[in-house]
Amino acid sequence: MKNTFFLLLLLGIFFSANAQQKPVFQKLRYEDDLRYLKADSTKNFYEKIKYIPLSRNENYYASVGGEARLQYTYTINDKWGDESDEGDGYLLSRYLLHADVHLGVFRTFFELQSSLANSKTDPSPVDQNQLDIHQAFLDIDFIRNEKQQLTLRSGRQEMMYGSQRLVAVREGPNSRLAFDAVKLFYKNKNWQTDAFYTHPIANKPGTFNDSFNENAQFWGSYTVIHKAPFIQNIDFYYLGLWKSRSVFDDAAGEENRQSIGTRIWKNKGNWKYDFEGVYQFGNISQKTISAWTISSFACYTFENIKFKPEIGLKTEIISGDKHSDDNHLETFNPLYPRGAYFGLVALIGPSNLIDVHPSISLTLSDKWGFGIDYDIFWRQTISDGLYAPNMQLLYSGENTNERFIGSQLISNLDYEANDYLAFTLETGWFNTGSFLKEVGSGKDYFYAALTAQFKF
């Protein structure tokens, strides 16, 4: 492990020394903008693989890129002592390699993903998926200029929308999420709208076996308006989900769920905010669905104070089922959210939950950052259980009236070595509440994780 971390450090130093201009790596790597290299006639080794001319036409070019991420995690009292009451350490590694080819109005993007779990007992497919085609799609541009773009995208692709509460690439876990999809999107300076129909990929351990998933369908539309009257930005969306089988505390069977929501947000300046509301309806088996969530986040950065402290407060109310054994289900389904929803080692998912989450972060220097988050969790209804981020039922709510789940304290220390290499040390302590003590072993949970991430 030490040798691998050292190799990533050497690669980061090498690419940093060879780059003439700073790259900007996007969360969705197919959105990396390499146009600044077109006019560079004195390219070094790194820039030559990032921009490979395919003809005299500047719109015909190719690019190569990727990522290596190593993450060593040590835990005590896994699943609050129900799975293990001893210390356990394991190493997760993720490797991504992509090729991007632009041929005028056509564009293809291809990416491989390898996720490995060393020394982890019974790793899930999200932890370990040896090698597979992660993305492979074709773009056709009907309109593309400096002012607007209309594109049809077809094939396996990553998608990410809004705050990532409902649709995300699952960056935190070891395997990122992709969709077999057809998407039509239009964007200009002030707004963007997408319409898509997909089958989410179900990861399977092994090599090149993440086949077409017939057991789930996901579709919808998402519109973002910038510089809206009286507010900074606003999102409107509709999302549909069908699954051949879903399991909740009080329902199981074929699920057909529709979600409508809106989000008001601002991510620049001293004041930042994010307010979102979602309502869900549909049916599962013979039950009708009526679920909802309201979330708010606001933070302020003190630019003129040493270390530029940023103080934030996030709150969420996420519905759970009110009554068992009736014809209704009020349990909220977060669809395909970011995996590490409440910390890097995600214990709790965003369903049947009340969450109060203050935080503070400090910019110690250009390279160092430090943050502390404190979460307090309650069940929204005492008739429903506690769920994991993937909506697996962790504990039923049938035989307990306890509402308080517990509190979680997380600290993170970030170091950005250069534009290519970053390190994060995160520690977390979960103090179990009365609900976890009654339904399980109820032991306090601790983890520490060191992550090294290299991008090129």
217 close to 242: Cβ distance less than 8 angstroms:
yes
In whole angstroms, give the CA distance from residue 391 to residue 377. 17
Comparing CA positions, the residue from 91, 90, 97, 45 lying closest to residue 68 is: 97
Comparing CA positions, the residue from 286, 185, 278 lying closest to residue 239 is: 278
Average pLDDT over residues 411-431: 96
Of all residues in the chain, the percent with pLDDT exceeding 90 is 81
Average pLDDT over residues 190-199: 97
Average pLDDT over residues 212-234: 93
Beta-carbon contacts of 247 under 8 Å, excluding residues fewer than 6 positions away, are 392, 393
16 close to 8: Cβ distance less than 8 angstroms:
no
Looking at residue 161, what is its pLDDT?
A: 98
Average pLDDT over residues 84-105: 93
Work out whether the CA dihedral 321, 322, 327, 332 comes out positive or negative.
Answer: negative
- The strand pair at 129-144 and 106-118 is best described as antiparallel
Q: Is the pLDDT of residue 317 over 70?
A: yes
Angle at 355 between CA 376 and CA 422, to 5 degrees: 80
Looking at residue 48, what is its pLDDT?
A: 85
Confidence of residue 21 (pLDDT cuts 50, 70, 90): low
Looking at residue 427, what is its pLDDT?
A: 97
Beta-carbon contacts of 214 under 8 Å, excluding residues fewer than 6 positions away, are 199, 244
In whole angstroms, give the CA distance from residue 393 to residue 92. 25
Tokens of 357: 């989450």
192 close to 221: Cβ distance less than 8 angstroms:
no
In tens, the pLDDT along 131-147 reads: 999 999 999 999 999 89
111 close to 157: Cβ distance less than 8 angstroms:
no
In tens, the pLDDT along 332-341 reads: 999 999 988 8
Q: Is the pLDDT of residue 426 over 90?
A: yes
In whole angstroms, give the CA distance from residue 246 to residue 234. 31
Tokens of 213: 């998933």
Confidence of residue 329 (pLDDT cuts 50, 70, 90): very high
In whole angstroms, give the CA distance from residue 284 to residue 255. 4
Tokens 């900007």 locate to: 24
In whole angstroms, give the CA distance from residue 101 to residue 113. 18
Please state the separation of Cα 123 from the chain's center in Å. 19
In whole angstroms, give the CA distance from residue 451 to residue 96. 16
In whole angstroms, give the CA distance from residue 10 to residue 5. 9
In tens, the pLDDT along 3-14 reads: 665 666 666 566
**Count of helices and strands (H, E) across the chain:** 3, 22
Tokens 């009236």 locate to: 401
Return the minimum-mean-pLDDT range out of 10-24, 62-76, 243-257.
Answer: 10-24
3-state helix, strand, coil in the chain (%, to 5): 10, 55, 40
Looking at residue 230, what is its pLDDT?
A: 78
In whole angstroms, give the CA distance from residue 348 to residue 388. 5
**Residue scoring higher pLDDT (139 or 389):** 139
Average pLDDT, the chain: 93
Q: Where are the beta strands (DSSP E) in 104-250?
A: 106-118, 129-144, 148-157, 179-188, 191-200, 216-226, 233-248
Tokens 């790596």 locate to: 25
Looking at residue 18, what is its pLDDT?
A: 60
Looking at residue 17, what is its pLDDT?
A: 58
Q: Is the pLDDT of residue 438 over 60?
A: yes
DSSP of 46-85, one letter per residue?
Answer: HHHHH-EE-SSSTTEEEEEEEEEEEEEEEEESGGGGTS-S
Which amino acid is located at 73 in the chain?
Answer: T
Q: Strand pairing partners for 144?
A: 149
Looking at residue 46, what is its pLDDT?
A: 84
Tokens 């307010």 locate to: 275
Tokens of 433: 């509440």
Of all residues in the chain, the percent with pLDDT exceeding 70 is 95
CA distances from 367 to 97, 363, 413 (A): 26, 8, 11
Environment class of residue 86 by beta-carbon count within 10 Å: exposed (0-12), middle (13-18) or buried (19+)?
Answer: exposed
Q: Is the pLDDT of residue 34 over 90?
A: no
Please state the separation of Cα 69 from the chain's center in Å. 15
Backbone angles phi, psi at 14, to 5 degrees: -65, -50
Looking at residue 11, what is its pLDDT?
A: 62
In tens, the pLDDT along 43-65 reads: 688 888 899 999 988 889 999 99
398 close to 362: Cβ distance less than 8 angstroms:
no
Confidence of residue 122 (pLDDT cuts 50, 70, 90): confident
In whole angstroms, give the CA distance from residue 128 to residue 114. 8
